[in-house]
Amino acid sequence: MQLTLANHPVTDIEFGAPARLEGTVLTIDSDELRPIVLKDDAIVSVDFEIAHPGDSCRAGPIFDVIEPRAKEPGSGADFPGILGAPVTAGIGTTHVLSGAAVSVLAEISPDLTRSATGRVLEMSGAPAEASAYSSLKHLLVIPHTKAGLTRQAVERAYRIAGIRAAVAVGRIALTESPRSVHQFDPIGPAINDRSGLPRIAYVGQIFSRQRKPEVDEPILYGANTDGMLPVMLHPDEWLDGAIVPSLHSWFGGTETYFYQNHPIILDLYRRHNARQINFVGTLATIAGSDNFDRERHCKAAASLVKWNLQAEGAVLSKYGGGLPHADLAETARLLEGMGIKTSVMVSDVSRDRRVESALLFNVPEVNAIVYNGGNGTHWEVPKVNRVVAATPEFTKLMTGPMTIDASNIVGVTNQQGASRMRAMVY
């Protein structure tokens, strides 16, 4: 398996016709894109807007952020299992509009108990400096769904709409020559030209069963992960559309863009290419809902890392809150007992900010812990010149000035490494 990314940098987005990529300027034909989004009968209309870095602009609630990408014809499928048959991802050439994003706005707030505004995209000011998404050029997709649908049906429509739009925009680049091409080196447990280098695996949670997945919720190759045991994936599958976030992705700050640019996997690849490590593979797993689930998942994951990937070290990250925290710790404890050194990534999302709430495990042998920030940071943000929202109510809520928590600004907090938040000891 080998993935090639053909990169087309984008420095500006505008509306116009025909759709085209001229140099680094991307022109989007909204009349051409609209019927692609409206293929879903759940969506009755859709609006499009553009947001640029530095704009006095606030948009939300943000449901998802997706990097525009499209497979080269004859080179595989876009988001297999969601837009088509579940063929293997991570093979062939994928064209990438780097520097651009397709961001889907919601008509509903993901969780009113945490924030009335949901997750917000800030394009200027201090919060924008804390989010990698503020440096992107955004096509904002604002679907309007028919009345009477269940929340799950609405959110699923948002997911499909965003993916369809991102692929359609990505296809604009297919007729152009990429500025650069990156081909990932072959990796896997059978690669044997790296004698003496530590064999490192990655174990990443992609869902937590503290929330029941919907029957038709697409997460892994279009499936909802219910009853799933840990599964070995090639790293390229993560990067090329095999995985998308749960419909509950507001918790933990995971967007499709994150998986497409997975920082842990890309850093392990970087170290592999520098011949610092032997990157032997990855596992996708889920967090259990009870002690039986936890024991089953953690032991299965540890066994795969030990016996199938034959790893000597493992990096682990979690998805969500307390239950995923416990699964992470138990998997790491089992691996340490098997002689496999571990490094775990955690964050504190406790409401009361007490050590007792944040300290969900205390395992002496799991002592390489990367803390990537919590939700204690907030900003006083000013009124902005332009608000893009799906409803007049959200427009009023987001105009400002207001106080906004870090966890409610998309791209600031992320429990799996895509965050600029760091803990400092004073």
Condensed to tens digits (0 to 9), the pLDDT of residues 46-84 reads 999 999 999 999 999 999 999 999 999 999 999 999 999
* Average pLDDT taken over every residue of the chain: 91
Beta bridge partners of 313: 200, 341
pLDDT, residue 325, reads: 86
Q: What is the pLDDT of residues 139-158, one digit of tens each?
A: 999 999 999 999 999 999 99
Q: Is 181 exposed, middle or buried (0-12, 13-18, 19+ CB in 10 A)?
A: exposed
pLDDT for the residue numbered 113: 44
The three-class DSSP label of residue 174 is helix
Confidence at 414, pLDDT banded by 50, 70, 90: confident
Contact 122, 52 (CB under 8 A): no
Contact 46, 59 (CB under 8 A): no
CA distance 43 to 46: 7
How large is the average pLDDT for residues 324-349?
91
Does residue 252 register a pLDDT over 90?
A: no
Q: Residues 85-103: what's their mean pLDDT?
A: 97
* pLDDT at residue 415, as a whole number: 76
Average pLDDT over residues 26-44: 98
pLDDT band for position 321 (50/70/90)?
A: confident
* Rg of the chain (C-alpha set): 21
Domain boundaries, the chain: 3-181+378-402, 187-371
Predicted local confidence at residue 185, as pLDDT: 86
pTM above 0.75, yes or no: yes
